[in-house]
A and B are shown apart, each in its own frame.
Chain A
Amino acid sequence: MSVDQATVRRIARLARLSSSDDALPRVAAELTRVLDLADQLAGAPLAGVEPMAHPQAQALAWRDDGVTAGDSADAFLALAPDTRGGLYLVPKVIE
Protein backbone atom coordinates (compact mmCIF):
# COMPACT_ATOMS: atom_id res chain seq x y z
CA MET A 1 0.00 0.00 0.00
CA SER A 2 1.65 3.21 -1.15
CA VAL A 3 0.57 6.21 0.90
CA ASP A 4 0.42 9.52 -0.97
CA GLN A 5 0.98 12.93 0.56
CA ALA A 6 -2.71 13.87 0.50
CA THR A 7 -3.45 10.76 2.58
CA VAL A 8 -0.75 11.67 5.09
CA ARG A 9 -2.28 15.12 5.40
CA ARG A 10 -5.75 13.62 5.98
CA ILE A 11 -4.52 11.09 8.57
CA ALA A 12 -2.43 13.73 10.36
CA ARG A 13 -5.53 15.93 10.59
CA LEU A 14 -7.53 13.02 12.07
CA ALA A 15 -4.74 12.43 14.61
CA ARG A 16 -4.43 16.16 15.36
CA LEU A 17 -0.76 16.16 14.37
CA SER A 18 0.74 18.81 12.12
CA SER A 19 1.91 17.88 8.64
CA SER A 20 4.41 20.41 7.36
CA ASP A 21 4.96 20.34 3.60
CA ASP A 22 8.68 19.57 3.84
CA ALA A 23 8.09 16.56 6.13
CA LEU A 24 5.29 15.05 3.98
CA PRO A 25 7.44 13.01 1.55
CA ARG A 26 9.46 11.44 4.39
CA VAL A 27 6.37 10.62 6.48
CA ALA A 28 4.59 9.19 3.42
CA ALA A 29 7.58 6.94 2.69
CA GLU A 30 7.77 5.76 6.32
CA LEU A 31 4.06 5.01 6.51
CA THR A 32 4.27 3.12 3.25
CA ARG A 33 7.03 0.91 4.66
CA VAL A 34 5.11 0.14 7.87
CA LEU A 35 1.93 -0.61 5.92
CA ASP A 36 3.92 -2.85 3.56
CA LEU A 37 4.91 -4.78 6.68
CA ALA A 38 1.24 -5.00 7.69
CA ASP A 39 0.36 -6.15 4.18
CA GLN A 40 2.31 -9.36 4.87
CA LEU A 41 -0.90 -10.44 6.61
CA ALA A 42 -2.77 -10.35 3.30
CA GLY A 43 -1.46 -13.78 2.30
CA ALA A 44 -2.27 -15.45 5.65
CA PRO A 45 -5.13 -17.96 5.92
CA LEU A 46 -7.40 -15.64 7.90
CA ALA A 47 -10.80 -16.34 6.31
CA GLY A 48 -13.32 -17.37 8.95
CA VAL A 49 -10.93 -16.70 11.86
CA GLU A 50 -12.66 -14.94 14.74
CA PRO A 51 -10.91 -11.58 15.40
CA MET A 52 -9.19 -11.45 18.81
CA ALA A 53 -9.40 -8.05 20.49
CA HIS A 54 -8.07 -9.05 23.87
CA PRO A 55 -6.15 -11.88 25.57
CA GLN A 56 -8.90 -12.45 28.12
CA ALA A 57 -11.95 -14.34 26.92
CA GLN A 58 -14.17 -13.34 29.82
CA ALA A 59 -16.24 -10.18 30.02
CA LEU A 60 -14.76 -7.21 31.83
CA ALA A 61 -15.48 -6.97 35.54
CA TRP A 62 -18.21 -4.53 36.54
CA ARG A 63 -18.22 -2.30 39.54
CA ASP A 64 -20.74 -0.02 41.19
CA ASP A 65 -21.01 3.42 39.65
CA GLY A 66 -20.16 5.15 42.89
CA VAL A 67 -17.67 7.65 44.28
CA THR A 68 -14.54 5.89 45.53
CA ALA A 69 -11.74 8.43 45.78
CA GLY A 70 -13.67 11.51 46.89
CA ASP A 71 -13.35 15.00 45.48
CA SER A 72 -9.93 15.54 43.91
CA ALA A 73 -11.00 18.31 41.53
CA ASP A 74 -8.44 20.80 42.84
CA ALA A 75 -5.57 18.31 42.55
CA PHE A 76 -6.44 17.56 38.94
CA LEU A 77 -7.16 21.15 37.96
CA ALA A 78 -3.73 22.06 39.34
CA LEU A 79 -2.19 19.97 36.53
CA ALA A 80 -3.85 22.00 33.78
CA PRO A 81 -1.96 24.65 31.83
CA ASP A 82 -4.80 27.17 32.25
CA THR A 83 -7.90 27.18 34.49
CA ARG A 84 -10.33 29.67 35.97
CA GLY A 85 -13.09 29.17 38.54
CA GLY A 86 -12.82 25.39 38.44
CA LEU A 87 -12.92 25.22 34.63
CA TYR A 88 -10.32 24.37 31.97
CA LEU A 89 -9.54 27.31 29.71
CA VAL A 90 -9.08 26.92 25.93
CA PRO A 91 -9.10 29.41 23.04
CA LYS A 92 -12.51 30.79 22.17
CA VAL A 93 -14.47 28.27 20.08
CA ILE A 94 -17.62 30.32 19.27
CA GLU A 95 -17.30 33.93 18.20
Chain B
Amino acid sequence: MAAESMAQLAQALRARRVSAVELAQQALITARARDDLNAFVTLDETGGLAAAQRADAALARGIASALAGIPFVHKDIFCTNGIRTTCASRMLENFVPPYDAAVVEKLAAVNAVSIGKANMDEFAMGSSNENSRFGPVRNPWDLTRVPGGSSGGSAAAVAAGIVSFATGTDTGGSIRQPAAFCGITGLKPTYGRVSRWGMIAYASSLDCGGVLARSAADCAQVLAAIAGRDGRDATSVDRPLDDYVATLSTSLKGIRIGVVREYFGSGVEDGVAVATQAALRELEHLGASLVDISLPNAPLAIPAYYVIAPAEASSNLARYDGVRYGHRCVEPKSLEDLYTRSRSEGFGAEVQRRILVGTYALSAGYYDAYYLRAQRARRLIANDFADAFRQVDLIAGPTAPTVAFKLGEKANDPLAMYAADVNTVAVNLAGLPAISVPAGLSCGLPVGLQLIAPAFAEARLLNAAHQFQGRTDWHRREPAQ
Protein backbone atom coordinates (compact mmCIF):
# COMPACT_ATOMS: atom_id res chain seq x y z
CA MET B 1 0.00 0.00 0.00
CA ALA B 2 2.78 2.43 0.88
CA ALA B 3 3.93 2.40 -2.75
CA GLU B 4 0.80 4.29 -3.70
CA SER B 5 0.80 8.07 -3.63
CA MET B 6 -0.50 9.78 -0.54
CA ALA B 7 -3.43 11.13 -2.56
CA GLN B 8 -4.38 7.56 -3.57
CA LEU B 9 -4.08 6.39 0.03
CA ALA B 10 -6.21 9.30 1.23
CA GLN B 11 -8.85 8.32 -1.33
CA ALA B 12 -8.73 4.65 -0.31
CA LEU B 13 -9.12 5.66 3.35
CA ARG B 14 -12.17 7.80 2.54
CA ALA B 15 -13.73 5.08 0.42
CA ARG B 16 -13.18 2.65 3.34
CA ARG B 17 -11.20 0.34 1.09
CA VAL B 18 -8.60 0.35 3.84
CA SER B 19 -8.40 1.67 7.39
CA ALA B 20 -5.62 3.70 9.01
CA VAL B 21 -5.11 0.85 11.47
CA GLU B 22 -4.61 -1.59 8.57
CA LEU B 23 -2.11 0.79 6.94
CA ALA B 24 -0.20 1.16 10.22
CA GLN B 25 -0.15 -2.61 10.74
CA GLN B 26 1.09 -3.14 7.21
CA ALA B 27 3.84 -0.53 7.71
CA LEU B 28 4.95 -2.19 10.96
CA ILE B 29 5.01 -5.63 9.30
CA THR B 30 7.06 -4.30 6.37
CA ALA B 31 9.41 -2.47 8.73
CA ARG B 32 10.09 -5.72 10.61
CA ALA B 33 10.46 -7.70 7.39
CA ARG B 34 13.06 -5.18 6.21
CA ASP B 35 15.19 -5.12 9.35
CA ASP B 36 18.13 -5.83 7.00
CA LEU B 37 18.02 -2.11 6.16
CA ASN B 38 18.46 -1.07 9.82
CA ALA B 39 16.35 1.98 9.00
CA PHE B 40 14.70 2.25 12.42
CA VAL B 41 16.09 2.98 15.86
CA THR B 42 12.69 2.47 17.50
CA LEU B 43 9.42 1.00 16.24
CA ASP B 44 6.44 2.39 18.13
CA GLU B 45 3.67 -0.16 17.62
CA THR B 46 1.52 1.01 20.54
CA GLY B 47 1.72 4.71 19.67
CA GLY B 48 1.35 4.04 15.96
CA LEU B 49 -1.79 1.94 16.32
CA ALA B 50 -3.33 4.44 18.78
CA ALA B 51 -2.65 7.27 16.32
CA ALA B 52 -4.18 5.17 13.54
CA GLN B 53 -7.34 4.65 15.60
CA ARG B 54 -7.61 8.42 16.11
CA ALA B 55 -7.16 8.88 12.36
CA ASP B 56 -9.91 6.35 11.62
CA ALA B 57 -12.21 8.20 14.02
CA ALA B 58 -11.47 11.53 12.29
CA LEU B 59 -12.06 9.90 8.89
CA ALA B 60 -15.37 8.45 10.08
CA ARG B 61 -16.47 11.92 11.20
CA GLY B 62 -15.53 13.32 7.79
CA ILE B 63 -13.17 15.93 9.26
CA ALA B 64 -9.87 14.34 8.34
CA SER B 65 -6.92 16.16 6.74
CA ALA B 66 -5.07 14.96 3.64
CA LEU B 67 -2.45 13.32 5.88
CA ALA B 68 -4.88 11.53 8.21
CA GLY B 69 -4.02 7.86 8.48
CA ILE B 70 -0.87 8.11 6.34
CA PRO B 71 1.99 6.10 7.90
CA PHE B 72 5.33 7.85 8.29
CA VAL B 73 8.48 7.88 10.42
CA HIS B 74 10.24 10.68 12.30
CA LYS B 75 14.00 11.06 12.08
CA ASP B 76 15.27 10.28 15.58
CA ILE B 77 16.37 13.89 16.02
CA PHE B 78 12.82 15.15 16.69
CA CYS B 79 11.83 14.95 20.35
CA THR B 80 8.84 12.68 20.94
CA ASN B 81 7.05 12.76 24.28
CA GLY B 82 7.47 9.40 25.98
CA ILE B 83 9.33 7.80 23.05
CA ARG B 84 13.10 7.70 23.35
CA THR B 85 14.93 10.14 21.11
CA THR B 86 18.55 9.14 20.64
CA CYS B 87 19.99 11.22 17.79
CA ALA B 88 21.70 7.87 17.10
CA SER B 89 24.14 8.68 19.89
CA ARG B 90 25.23 6.76 22.96
CA MET B 91 24.92 10.15 24.69
CA LEU B 92 21.11 10.06 24.31
CA GLU B 93 20.64 6.29 24.10
CA ASN B 94 18.16 6.34 27.00
CA PHE B 95 16.81 9.87 26.61
CA VAL B 96 12.98 9.97 26.75
CA PRO B 97 11.85 13.56 26.12
CA PRO B 98 9.00 14.95 28.23
CA TYR B 99 7.67 16.95 25.27
CA ASP B 100 7.02 16.82 21.51
CA ALA B 101 8.95 18.83 18.90
CA ALA B 102 6.86 21.38 16.97
CA VAL B 103 7.02 19.20 13.83
CA VAL B 104 5.85 16.19 15.84
CA GLU B 105 2.92 18.18 17.30
CA LYS B 106 1.88 19.44 13.87
CA LEU B 107 1.88 16.02 12.20
CA ALA B 108 0.02 14.50 15.16
CA ALA B 109 -2.57 17.30 14.93
CA VAL B 110 -3.44 16.29 11.35
CA ASN B 111 -3.60 12.60 12.35
CA ALA B 112 -0.62 11.40 10.33
CA VAL B 113 0.52 8.10 11.86
CA SER B 114 4.11 7.84 13.09
CA ILE B 115 5.26 4.23 13.41
CA GLY B 116 8.61 5.03 15.02
CA LYS B 117 11.97 6.75 14.83
CA ALA B 118 14.42 6.51 11.95
CA ASN B 119 18.14 5.78 12.16
CA MET B 120 20.53 8.59 11.21
CA ASP B 121 24.12 9.76 11.49
CA GLU B 122 24.92 10.66 15.10
CA PHE B 123 23.72 14.22 15.83
CA ALA B 124 23.11 14.53 12.04
CA MET B 125 26.87 14.62 11.39
CA GLY B 126 27.61 12.50 8.36
CA SER B 127 26.82 11.83 4.72
CA SER B 128 26.53 8.03 4.75
CA ASN B 129 24.60 7.03 7.88
CA GLU B 130 27.64 5.05 9.02
CA ASN B 131 28.12 7.29 12.10
CA SER B 132 25.26 5.75 14.09
CA ARG B 133 25.39 4.22 17.55
CA PHE B 134 22.92 1.67 16.16
CA GLY B 135 24.94 0.66 13.11
CA PRO B 136 24.79 1.75 9.48
CA VAL B 137 21.62 1.93 7.39
CA ARG B 138 21.72 0.07 4.07
CA ASN B 139 20.53 1.40 0.73
CA PRO B 140 17.42 -0.49 -0.51
CA TRP B 141 18.79 -0.32 -4.07
CA ASP B 142 21.97 -2.17 -3.12
CA LEU B 143 22.52 -3.46 0.41
CA THR B 144 26.28 -3.10 0.06
CA ARG B 145 25.90 0.67 -0.40
CA VAL B 146 25.14 3.59 1.90
CA PRO B 147 21.74 5.32 1.80
CA GLY B 148 23.42 8.72 2.24
CA GLY B 149 23.08 10.80 5.34
CA SER B 150 22.40 12.08 7.74
CA SER B 151 18.68 11.28 7.20
CA GLY B 152 19.60 7.80 5.90
CA GLY B 153 16.99 5.82 7.85
CA SER B 154 14.27 8.23 6.70
CA ALA B 155 15.32 7.84 3.06
CA ALA B 156 15.65 4.04 3.20
CA ALA B 157 12.25 3.61 4.90
CA VAL B 158 10.51 5.62 2.16
CA ALA B 159 12.47 4.05 -0.71
CA ALA B 160 11.72 0.53 0.54
CA GLY B 161 7.98 1.31 0.63
CA ILE B 162 7.69 0.91 4.41
CA VAL B 163 6.15 4.37 4.91
CA SER B 164 4.76 7.06 2.62
CA PHE B 165 6.99 9.84 3.93
CA ALA B 166 9.55 10.63 6.59
CA THR B 167 10.67 13.73 8.41
CA GLY B 168 14.31 14.70 8.09
CA THR B 169 16.69 17.53 8.84
CA ASP B 170 19.15 19.19 6.50
CA THR B 171 22.17 21.12 7.80
CA GLY B 172 24.47 20.59 4.80
CA GLY B 173 22.52 18.24 2.53
CA SER B 174 21.13 15.69 4.99
CA ILE B 175 17.70 15.50 3.32
CA ARG B 176 18.67 16.05 -0.32
CA GLN B 177 21.71 13.73 -0.56
CA PRO B 178 20.01 10.63 0.95
CA ALA B 179 16.92 11.36 -1.18
CA ALA B 180 19.19 11.36 -4.26
CA PHE B 181 21.00 8.15 -3.20
CA CYS B 182 17.72 6.32 -2.51
CA GLY B 183 15.76 7.49 -5.56
CA ILE B 184 13.14 9.56 -3.71
CA THR B 185 12.16 13.22 -3.40
CA GLY B 186 13.60 15.33 -0.57
CA LEU B 187 12.67 18.91 0.29
CA LYS B 188 14.78 21.25 2.41
CA PRO B 189 12.62 24.32 3.08
CA THR B 190 13.89 27.87 3.58
CA TYR B 191 15.70 28.42 6.86
CA GLY B 192 13.00 29.59 9.32
CA ARG B 193 10.06 28.07 7.40
CA VAL B 194 9.76 25.08 9.75
CA SER B 195 10.09 25.42 13.52
CA ARG B 196 13.27 23.99 15.04
CA TRP B 197 11.64 23.72 18.47
CA GLY B 198 12.32 20.25 19.85
CA MET B 199 14.65 19.39 16.95
CA ILE B 200 17.98 18.48 18.53
CA ALA B 201 20.51 21.14 17.55
CA TYR B 202 23.63 20.56 15.48
CA ALA B 203 24.45 23.91 13.77
CA SER B 204 21.66 26.32 14.59
CA SER B 205 22.17 28.83 11.77
CA LEU B 206 21.99 25.98 9.21
CA ASP B 207 19.64 23.32 10.68
CA CYS B 208 16.37 22.94 8.81
CA GLY B 209 13.51 20.46 9.23
CA GLY B 210 11.93 19.03 6.09
CA VAL B 211 10.48 15.99 4.37
CA LEU B 212 11.43 12.95 2.29
CA ALA B 213 8.68 11.29 0.22
CA ARG B 214 8.13 9.52 -3.06
CA SER B 215 6.99 12.57 -5.03
CA ALA B 216 6.89 16.36 -4.99
CA ALA B 217 3.10 16.22 -4.61
CA ASP B 218 3.52 14.18 -1.41
CA CYS B 219 6.20 16.59 -0.16
CA ALA B 220 3.81 19.50 -0.78
CA GLN B 221 1.15 17.95 1.48
CA VAL B 222 3.65 17.43 4.28
CA LEU B 223 5.23 20.89 3.97
CA ALA B 224 1.77 22.44 4.23
CA ALA B 225 1.34 20.60 7.54
CA ILE B 226 4.72 21.35 9.15
CA ALA B 227 5.49 24.91 7.94
CA GLY B 228 4.65 28.09 9.76
CA ARG B 229 5.52 30.50 12.54
CA ASP B 230 6.21 29.11 16.01
CA GLY B 231 6.83 31.53 18.86
CA ARG B 232 9.05 28.97 20.58
CA ASP B 233 11.69 29.20 17.82
CA ALA B 234 12.98 32.77 17.61
CA THR B 235 14.23 32.17 14.05
CA SER B 236 10.90 30.83 12.82
CA VAL B 237 9.52 33.27 10.27
CA ASP B 238 6.13 34.98 10.40
CA ARG B 239 5.21 34.96 6.75
CA PRO B 240 2.08 33.59 5.06
CA LEU B 241 2.35 30.10 3.53
CA ASP B 242 1.68 29.56 -0.16
CA ASP B 243 -0.86 26.94 -1.21
CA TYR B 244 1.80 24.33 -2.03
CA VAL B 245 -0.72 21.81 -3.37
CA ALA B 246 -2.78 24.17 -5.55
CA THR B 247 0.32 25.60 -7.27
CA LEU B 248 1.67 22.18 -8.28
CA SER B 249 -0.23 22.30 -11.58
CA THR B 250 1.09 25.70 -12.73
CA SER B 251 2.76 25.58 -16.17
CA LEU B 252 6.54 25.96 -16.38
CA LYS B 253 6.29 27.96 -19.63
CA GLY B 254 8.68 30.89 -19.51
CA ILE B 255 10.43 29.86 -16.31
CA ARG B 256 14.20 30.40 -16.41
CA ILE B 257 16.44 27.73 -14.90
CA GLY B 258 20.09 28.51 -14.25
CA VAL B 259 22.38 25.54 -14.78
CA VAL B 260 25.40 25.92 -12.52
CA ARG B 261 28.68 25.37 -14.35
CA GLU B 262 30.57 24.68 -11.10
CA TYR B 263 28.14 21.88 -10.11
CA PHE B 264 29.38 19.82 -13.06
CA GLY B 265 33.01 20.08 -11.91
CA SER B 266 35.75 17.47 -11.89
CA GLY B 267 34.42 15.37 -8.98
CA VAL B 268 31.11 14.64 -10.76
CA GLU B 269 30.76 11.13 -12.18
CA ASP B 270 29.93 10.92 -15.88
CA GLY B 271 26.76 8.90 -15.27
CA VAL B 272 25.51 11.56 -12.84
CA ALA B 273 26.25 14.40 -15.27
CA VAL B 274 24.55 12.58 -18.16
CA ALA B 275 21.39 11.83 -16.16
CA THR B 276 21.22 15.40 -14.85
CA GLN B 277 21.61 16.88 -18.34
CA ALA B 278 18.86 14.60 -19.66
CA ALA B 279 16.59 15.72 -16.79
CA LEU B 280 17.27 19.36 -17.64
CA ARG B 281 16.20 18.71 -21.22
CA GLU B 282 12.89 17.35 -19.89
CA LEU B 283 12.39 20.63 -18.05
CA GLU B 284 13.10 22.42 -21.35
CA HIS B 285 10.36 20.33 -23.00
CA LEU B 286 8.03 21.60 -20.28
CA GLY B 287 8.64 25.16 -21.41
CA ALA B 288 11.52 26.17 -19.15
CA SER B 289 14.51 27.91 -20.67
CA LEU B 290 17.95 26.87 -19.52
CA VAL B 291 20.56 29.52 -18.76
CA ASP B 292 24.23 28.74 -18.21
CA ILE B 293 25.22 30.42 -14.93
CA SER B 294 28.24 30.60 -12.64
CA LEU B 295 28.39 30.65 -8.86
CA PRO B 296 32.03 31.73 -8.76
CA ASN B 297 32.46 31.27 -5.00
CA ALA B 298 31.09 27.71 -5.01
CA PRO B 299 34.55 26.26 -4.22
CA LEU B 300 34.48 28.15 -0.89
CA ALA B 301 31.36 26.35 0.32
CA ILE B 302 32.95 23.16 1.68
CA PRO B 303 35.79 24.92 3.54
CA ALA B 304 33.38 27.53 4.97
CA TYR B 305 30.82 24.92 5.96
CA TYR B 306 33.38 22.70 7.70
CA VAL B 307 34.39 25.63 9.91
CA ILE B 308 30.95 27.14 10.61
CA ALA B 309 29.05 23.90 11.25
CA PRO B 310 31.69 22.47 13.65
CA ALA B 311 31.97 25.84 15.43
CA GLU B 312 28.23 25.90 16.05
CA ALA B 313 28.29 22.20 16.97
CA SER B 314 31.02 22.69 19.56
CA SER B 315 28.87 25.37 21.18
CA ASN B 316 25.55 23.47 20.90
CA LEU B 317 26.95 20.17 22.16
CA ALA B 318 28.52 21.80 25.22
CA ARG B 319 25.15 21.14 26.88
CA TYR B 320 25.89 17.40 27.11
CA ASP B 321 27.74 17.37 30.42
CA GLY B 322 26.47 14.22 32.13
CA VAL B 323 24.63 16.29 34.75
CA ARG B 324 21.07 17.02 33.65
CA TYR B 325 20.37 14.30 31.07
CA GLY B 326 22.23 11.99 28.74
CA HIS B 327 25.08 9.59 29.35
CA ARG B 328 27.02 9.81 32.62
CA CYS B 329 30.27 7.92 33.23
CA VAL B 330 30.50 5.65 36.28
CA GLU B 331 32.21 6.81 39.47
CA PRO B 332 33.45 10.23 38.39
CA LYS B 333 36.41 11.37 40.49
CA SER B 334 35.72 15.08 40.08
CA LEU B 335 33.35 17.40 38.25
CA GLU B 336 35.83 17.79 35.40
CA ASP B 337 36.28 14.02 35.22
CA LEU B 338 32.48 13.71 35.08
CA TYR B 339 32.27 16.13 32.14
CA THR B 340 35.25 14.76 30.25
CA ARG B 341 34.58 11.05 30.59
CA SER B 342 30.82 11.35 30.06
CA ARG B 343 31.39 13.28 26.82
CA SER B 344 34.24 11.07 25.56
CA GLU B 345 32.20 7.91 26.19
CA GLY B 346 28.93 9.41 24.94
CA PHE B 347 30.03 10.92 21.61
CA GLY B 348 31.26 8.92 18.60
CA ALA B 349 34.40 9.64 16.57
CA GLU B 350 32.96 12.03 13.98
CA VAL B 351 31.07 14.07 16.58
CA GLN B 352 34.23 14.42 18.67
CA ARG B 353 36.20 15.39 15.57
CA ARG B 354 33.75 18.19 14.72
CA ILE B 355 33.66 19.42 18.33
CA LEU B 356 37.47 19.63 18.33
CA VAL B 357 37.60 21.43 14.97
CA GLY B 358 34.93 23.86 16.12
CA THR B 359 36.56 24.48 19.47
CA TYR B 360 39.84 25.17 17.67
CA ALA B 361 38.20 27.56 15.19
CA LEU B 362 36.57 29.51 18.02
CA SER B 363 39.57 29.55 20.37
CA ALA B 364 41.57 32.65 21.22
CA GLY B 365 44.08 33.47 18.51
CA TYR B 366 42.32 31.44 15.78
CA TYR B 367 38.85 32.99 15.72
CA ASP B 368 39.74 35.60 13.06
CA ALA B 369 41.69 33.17 10.88
CA TYR B 370 38.97 30.51 10.84
CA TYR B 371 35.50 31.43 12.11
CA LEU B 372 35.43 35.05 10.94
CA ARG B 373 36.98 34.16 7.59
CA ALA B 374 34.39 31.42 7.06
CA GLN B 375 31.62 33.89 7.85
CA ARG B 376 33.00 36.30 5.22
CA ALA B 377 33.07 33.44 2.68
CA ARG B 378 29.48 32.65 3.66
CA ARG B 379 28.47 36.18 2.62
CA LEU B 380 30.12 35.76 -0.80
CA ILE B 381 28.33 32.44 -1.32
CA ALA B 382 24.95 33.98 -0.38
CA ASN B 383 25.67 36.97 -2.68
CA ASP B 384 26.38 34.58 -5.58
CA PHE B 385 22.87 33.14 -5.23
CA ALA B 386 21.31 36.60 -4.91
CA ASP B 387 23.08 37.71 -8.11
CA ALA B 388 22.01 34.54 -9.95
CA PHE B 389 18.37 34.95 -8.93
CA ARG B 390 18.35 38.34 -10.67
CA GLN B 391 18.52 36.44 -13.98
CA VAL B 392 16.84 33.09 -13.24
CA ASP B 393 13.86 31.69 -11.31
CA LEU B 394 15.45 28.40 -10.24
CA ILE B 395 18.98 27.02 -10.08
CA ALA B 396 19.79 23.41 -11.05
CA GLY B 397 22.55 20.82 -10.92
CA PRO B 398 23.24 17.31 -9.66
CA THR B 399 22.37 16.87 -5.96
CA ALA B 400 25.49 14.80 -5.29
CA PRO B 401 28.61 14.27 -7.40
CA THR B 402 28.28 10.47 -7.29
CA VAL B 403 25.69 7.75 -6.88
CA ALA B 404 25.50 5.91 -3.54
CA PHE B 405 28.97 4.69 -2.60
CA LYS B 406 29.92 1.42 -0.90
CA LEU B 407 29.63 0.97 2.86
CA GLY B 408 33.08 1.57 4.31
CA GLU B 409 34.39 3.21 1.14
CA LYS B 410 34.84 6.63 2.75
CA ALA B 411 34.35 5.77 6.42
CA ASN B 412 38.03 6.21 7.28
CA ASP B 413 38.57 9.34 5.22
CA PRO B 414 36.59 12.26 6.69
CA LEU B 415 37.64 14.64 3.92
CA ALA B 416 36.47 12.33 1.13
CA MET B 417 33.17 12.09 3.02
CA TYR B 418 32.90 15.88 3.31
CA ALA B 419 33.35 16.19 -0.48
CA ALA B 420 30.03 14.31 -0.92
CA ASP B 421 28.33 17.55 0.22
CA VAL B 422 29.95 19.76 -2.42
CA ASN B 423 26.69 20.69 -4.21
CA THR B 424 24.44 20.90 -1.15
CA VAL B 425 26.17 22.86 1.64
CA ALA B 426 26.08 26.26 -0.11
CA VAL B 427 22.27 26.18 0.00
CA ASN B 428 22.34 25.89 3.79
CA LEU B 429 24.93 28.65 4.15
CA ALA B 430 22.59 30.94 2.17
CA GLY B 431 19.45 29.64 3.96
CA LEU B 432 17.62 28.83 0.70
CA PRO B 433 15.04 26.12 -0.10
CA ALA B 434 16.02 23.24 -2.40
CA ILE B 435 14.64 19.91 -3.54
CA SER B 436 16.20 16.71 -4.86
CA VAL B 437 14.13 14.74 -7.38
CA PRO B 438 14.93 11.36 -8.95
CA ALA B 439 16.43 12.18 -12.36
CA GLY B 440 17.63 8.88 -13.74
CA LEU B 441 19.86 5.91 -13.06
CA SER B 442 23.61 5.48 -13.40
CA CYS B 443 24.89 1.90 -13.24
CA GLY B 444 21.46 0.93 -11.90
CA LEU B 445 21.62 3.42 -9.02
CA PRO B 446 19.50 6.57 -8.58
CA VAL B 447 20.72 10.05 -9.52
CA GLY B 448 19.17 13.18 -8.00
CA LEU B 449 18.51 16.51 -9.69
CA GLN B 450 18.76 19.44 -7.28
CA LEU B 451 16.61 22.51 -7.81
CA ILE B 452 17.27 25.61 -5.68
CA ALA B 453 14.88 28.57 -5.28
CA PRO B 454 15.00 32.02 -3.69
CA ALA B 455 14.02 32.21 -0.01
CA PHE B 456 10.39 31.23 0.64
CA ALA B 457 9.77 30.09 -2.97
CA GLU B 458 9.08 26.47 -1.95
CA ALA B 459 5.92 26.56 -4.08
CA ARG B 460 8.00 27.24 -7.20
CA LEU B 461 10.34 24.34 -6.35
CA LEU B 462 7.50 21.90 -5.73
CA ASN B 463 5.72 23.06 -8.88
CA ALA B 464 8.78 22.48 -11.07
CA ALA B 465 9.50 19.12 -9.44
CA HIS B 466 5.86 18.02 -9.83
CA GLN B 467 5.74 19.03 -13.50
CA PHE B 468 8.99 17.12 -14.05
CA GLN B 469 7.47 14.08 -12.35
CA GLY B 470 4.41 14.35 -14.60
CA ARG B 471 6.70 13.86 -17.58
CA THR B 472 9.11 11.28 -16.17
CA ASP B 473 8.72 8.12 -14.12
CA TRP B 474 12.07 8.01 -12.29
CA HIS B 475 10.29 8.69 -8.99
CA ARG B 476 8.12 5.59 -9.55
CA ARG B 477 11.08 3.27 -10.01
CA GLU B 478 11.53 0.93 -7.09
CA PRO B 479 14.53 -1.07 -5.94
CA ALA B 480 14.28 -4.81 -6.60
CA GLN B 481 13.30 -6.64 -3.41
Contacts and interface: CB of A to CB of B under 8 A. Distances in A.
A37 B415 contact: yes
B355 interface: yes
Interface in B319-356: 321-325, 328, 332-341, 343-344, 347, 352-353, 355-356
A14 B359 contact: yes
B135 interface: no
A40 B303 contact: yes
B379 A55 contact: no
Contacts of A55: 191-192, 205, 382, 429-432, 455
Interface string A28-43: 0011011101111110
A2 B123 CA distance: 28
Interface stretch (B38-46, B114-122, B255-263, B369-377): B369-377
Interface stretch (B168-176, B181-189, B231-239): B231-239
Interface in A21-58: 27, 30-31, 33-35, 37-42, 44-46, 49-56
B335 A91 contact: yes
Given A34-B415, A38-B307, A79-B324, A11 B356 contact: yes
B237 A38 contact: no
A52 B303 contact: no
For B328, B370, B376, B379, the residue with the greatest tally of chain A CB atoms inside 10 Å of its CB is: B376
B311 to A, nearest CB: 10
Contact of B375 (A51, A76, A91, A93): A51
Contacts, number: 165
Interface string B285-315: 0000000000001011011101100100010
Taking chain A's interface residues, is the majority helix, strand, or loop, or is none over half, making it mixed?
loop
A35 B302 contact: no
Contact of A51 (B235, B322, B376): B376
Taking chain B's interface residues, is the majority helix, strand, or loop, or is none over half, making it mixed?
helix
B79 to A, nearest CB: 12
Contacts of A11: 356, 359-360, 363
Interface residues of B, number: 72
A54 B370 CA distance: 16
Given A46-B377, A91-B333, A37 B303 contact: yes
Contact of B95 (A14, A79, A88): A79
A35 B360 contact: yes
Contact of B191 (A41, A49, A50, A56): A56
A30 B354 CA distance: 11
B414 A46 contact: no
B452 interface: no
Given A11-B360, A38-B306, A91-B333, A60 B235 contact: yes
Given A31-B357, A56-B431, A17 B340 contact: yes
Interface in B350-398: 352-353, 355-357, 359-361, 363, 370, 372-380, 382
A31 B98 CA distance: 37
B337 A33 contact: no
A84 interface: no
Nearest to B354: A34
8 contacts: A17-B344, A37-B302, A38-B361, A49-B377, A51-B372, A80-B324, A80-B325, A91-B333
Interface of A: 3, 7-8, 11-12, 14-18, 27, 30-31, 33-35, 37-42, 44-46, 49-56, 60-61, 63, 68-69, 72, 75-76, 78-82, 88, 90-91, 93
Which 3 A/B pairs are nearest by Cβ-Cβ distance?
A: A55-B431, A51-B375, A75-B98
